[in-house]
């Protein structure tokens, strides 16, 4: 898979339209390409890691609960960042596994490079803040949904928000992401199809 830096550039320019060519060139200079096979790990628990942007493919972020079950907390597809953001900004080891679900190409950058971009270019620091706000909004929405929405509503929201992702993730991973048993997901899907 050939990396497509234009996807990263488009994502950056969407949130930071005033991004200059110098800013983009400097930021891009610190990214490297990493290719993963399906089911390969980019990060495992207790590892430090780099900022990662999905150029091609699909990533899953999960942890293993005390009962030994994998709990999926996020999927990242083309144009998404796939990073344990807290571990990245605190430079601590991750509590999560980041695993490819299909052949994946990541564009990755070190914490030091990102911090240097922020110091040299205030526009890139603004972009970093806007990304942090997006991460916060996503996490807040997910917490609220888990606390207030029934499983069927969470499933319908997932289908509405990520229609193309439905055919790319297993029902087991999807059920885990939704916080329900796979059998419950099957019942919900059957009910919706019957309506």
How much is the pLDDT for 137? 93
pLDDT in tens, 138-149: 999 999 999 999
pLDDT in tens, 104-121: 999 999 999 999 999 999
How much is the pLDDT for 48? 67
Work out the pLDDT band at 43, boundaries 50, 70, 90: confident
pLDDT > 70 in the chain, percent:
96
How much is the pLDDT for 2? 55
Q: Which residues contact 70 (CB under 8 A, 6 or more apart)?
A: 62, 63, 64, 176
Are 62 and 70 spatial neighbours (Cβ–Cβ below 8 Å)? yes
How much is the pLDDT for 158? 93
Asked whether residue 44 carries a pLDDT value surpassing 80, the answer given is: no
Least confident of 42-46, 77-81, 84-88: 42-46
Work out the pLDDT band at 49, boundaries 50, 70, 90: confident
pTM: 0.90
Write the DSSP string, the chain: ----HHHHHHHHHHH-TT--HHHHHHHHHT-EEEEE-TT-EEE-TT----EEEEEESEEEEEEE-TTS-EEEEEEEETT-B---HHHHHHT---SSEEEESS-EEEEEE-HHHHHHHHHH-HHHHHHHHHHHHHHHHHHHHHHHHHHHS-HHHHHHHHHHH-TTTTTTS-HHHHHHHHTS-HHHHHHHHHHHHH-
How much is the pLDDT for 193? 79
């Amino acid at each position: 898979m050939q990396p497509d830096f234009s996807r990263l550039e488009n994502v950056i320019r969407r949130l930071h339209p005033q991004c200059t060519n110098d800013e983009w060139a400097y930021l891009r200079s610190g990214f490297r390409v990493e290719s993963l096979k399906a089911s390969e790990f980019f990060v495992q628990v207790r590892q430090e890691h780099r900022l990662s942007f999905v150029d091609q493919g699909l990533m899953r972020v999960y942890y293993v609960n005390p009962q030994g079950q994998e709990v999926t907390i996020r999927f990242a597809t083309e144009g998404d960042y796939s990073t344990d953001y807290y571990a990245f900004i605190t430079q601590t080891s991750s509590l999560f596994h980041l695993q490819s679900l299909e052949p994946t190409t990541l564009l990755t950058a070190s914490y030091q490079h990102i911090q240097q971009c922020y110091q040299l270019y205030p526009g890139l620091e603004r972009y970093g803040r806007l990304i942090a706000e997006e991460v916060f909004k996503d996490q807040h929405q997910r917490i609220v949904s888990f606390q207030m929405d029934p499983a069927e509503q969470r499933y319908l929201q997932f289908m509405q928000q990520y229609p193309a992702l439905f055919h790319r993730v297993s029902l087991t991973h999807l059920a885990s992401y939704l916080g329900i048993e796979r059998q419950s997901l099957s019942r919900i899907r059957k009910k919706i199809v019957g309506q």
